[in-house]
Chains A and B, each alone.
Chain A
Amino acid sequence: MSELVIQTRNLNKKYRGRYAVRNLDLEIAKGEIYGFLGPNGAGKTTTIRMLLGLIRPTVGSIQIFGKDLRKDKMNILRKVGSLVEYPSNYGHLTAVQNLEAIRRILDAPKARIHEVLEIVSLTKDAKRPVKGYSLGMKQRLGIAAALLGNPELLILDEPTNGLDPAGIHEIRELIRSMPKQHGITVLVSSHLLSEVEQMAGTVGIIREGEMVFQDTIDNLKQQASGGFRLVVSEPQEALVHLIGQGYTGRMEDGAIKLDQLSDPEVALLVKRLVDNNHAVYRVEEKRRSLEDIFMQVIEQGGFS
């Protein structure tokens, strides 16, 4: 198992008797992009606030870079860049001055300001007061601020919230480049699967404060296959024949429904049917979209 950058154990946050986050075991490996998914109000931001030490967990432990957050908060935060909910800035100051205020606290080299402005392509507007910026530019400035301290871990809470498609694309490409170009581990939260599926390697899906799925996006896609549908001549006989051969299947609307099979298994199955003098008209794979699976997970709290 690769090195874990974030690891929470039995994390709980209780507000007035109600759990906002419950028994959360988050595991994020070094160098990956982790998509933290869930509907609004599922506990994503609450979790992120706990990871950043903004609020204290009711129960549970948080380890970041292998160190306990409670004991090593300063050292951990020095290596973490974050953007929580909305980007915040001083409207009367320029982008450079805004970053300078943060730079003074981080004690980063001055040249870093221009580097991060370059990364988020704000160099051209760097000398303008921030109050004249569009939402997308403010968001990029927020990411620039998060990158200022040369972090090893980037935590972005809904970074594409309120952006137009072009802005979303831009931010997505930016996030995607982080592990490759800068070796940064990224935790990015979203309420839309479609938004993170193109960049995240691993996803965690949270629902009513509880983690209901945590695995690679490929494994999530595996769940998307819904089996096969065969249209053949004499379907009843064909089904009896297949069941005799050890397959599991059933009749549905005059077609045979089979569970998920690999490519060679499908080929063999078709051959057997043809050998048994059935005409094979159609072999269809029934796919559910990732979005359907996501909806199922967050509605039912798991796979059926």
Chain B
Amino acid sequence: MPEIKVTPLGAGQDVGRSCILVSIGGKNIMLDCGMHMGYNDDRRFPDFSYITQNGRLTDFLDCVIISHFHLDHCGALPYMSEMVGYDGPIYMTHPTKAICPILLEDFRKITVDKKGETNFFTSQMIKDCMKKVIPLNLHQTVQVDDELEIKAYYAGHVLGAAMVHIKVGSESVVYTGDYNMTPDRHLGAAWIDKCRPDILISESTYATTIRDSKRCRERDFLKKVHETIERGGKVLIPVFALGRAQELCILLETFWERMNLKAPIYFSTGLTEKANHYYKLFITWTNQKIRKTFVQRNMFEFKHIKAFDRSYADNPGPMVVFATPGMLHAGQSLQIFKKWAGNDKNMVIMPGYCVQGTIGHKILNGQRKLEMEGRSTLDVKLQVEYMSFSAHADAKGIMQLIRMAEPRNMLLVHGEAAKMEFLKGKIEQEFSIDCYMPANGETVAVTTNPSVPVDISLNLLKREMTLGGPLPDPKKPRTMHGTLIMKENSLKLVSSEQALKELGLNEHQLRFTCRVQLQDPHSDSDTLHRIYTHLKSVLKDYTIQHLPDGTVMVESIVIKVSSSAEDANAKVLLLSWSYQDEDLGSYLSSLLKKGLPT
């Protein structure tokens, strides 16, 4: 039976990274190539030995697809392509291609320069890796080769995030990556058509979560900012220059207007340049409505948000500053942090995950004394707030997505199957589809039932109809006889005669003959009659005739009797049958060899 194989790479129960292998129709595809942010050693990379014990991966993979720029989905890509070795195509959307190398470089700098690690990819490797990237547009079918095609769908979640549809022949798989089903401020919700893939692959953690509303997260953000401003404190918000940062800016601007607040809001200059660059990317990725309501309100049209100058950090009184980089690991945001950390009226709001080794990571772990360069320590007295704004689907969302795509099977990664029986049951019951939950490192083979369209000749169809019986019914299959002709990409079912004619062949009939010797002193006709009687008693279900031309016929098998030339008491039976009656013919010859009853 045809099957699609799916293996999430990784060991044990770890859920920190995504890297999934799919084998479909003879093609091997790697979905995402994430880094596990919790490990400091080689365990952070996916275990590629599953693909091959040594050597490059190029021969074993037809393509690699990256869903979005988060490090737990693309962090190990340069390691895979340049250190393990892969020269084939890497597919991702345009925004992902633009943003990935920046995040990878930042990550590399932190890991190598700050933490002094050695077995890590270099800046050149990141560049070489990105040269292998082929960018994707939404809803555009891309032929990877003459059998494998892929298509990207909008996933929401972050700028450039895509769900990907993979098709080989009539088998297909959809991988969701990270997505959200409720519209976000600047991103909208994921969408896919009723593509009915054989398997829909998604994260199991979504399915067991019920997410707090965006409104409440934003409320918490505004509340904290407002409280800090009201007591005269300063708020630092380290951000990456995109999407979420703009969203928070617009939120604050609107809030300031509504509440008639006077405290200044600034964004640092580094942010402006980057924001402009990504702003252009953003335009092509969003639709009319988003462009109108969100993108057009860019950095330069804010009434209350102004460009930051580093001397402002020393100004007295309340203020809010957006600054890069997002994890406080260098640059302006770190400089501002150092100035403001000592005052307990101030606040720093971290809107996202921080990589190990950064100041951001340390303060989010509760560290209140930081070692800075030159052995000085920094006392962290300001309030540290960790807020998550990322848009993710949840239990309700995953059911909505299944309803949208109508997969034949569901596959959830990064969960413990033993602890997910209810979830499995829920999906199986509601949609009557199987739900698979492979452990990391385990391969699941999903049997597919690809439908193969075949044309049938009218003659053949008519002939079958005249045979009578009930009309063809999917629930009551009927066997029929014909010849299947596969020409180019089409399949045709025709009658045997027509096939022979098309091939220019003559029809032949095969007949077998067999001689059986019997000891029988009677006359030829008596022997024949005895044979007739014997067979009639043994073969009750068959048509047996004693014909006037001196033969006995069993169905289409002909039996003749003649005397033996050598022995007067012996008879020679001649049996003859056509190929269709081979079984009966063999049976008869063995039966008659045993002799006749007296």
Q: Are A and B interaction partners?
A: no
Partner-B contacts on A (CB < 8 A): none
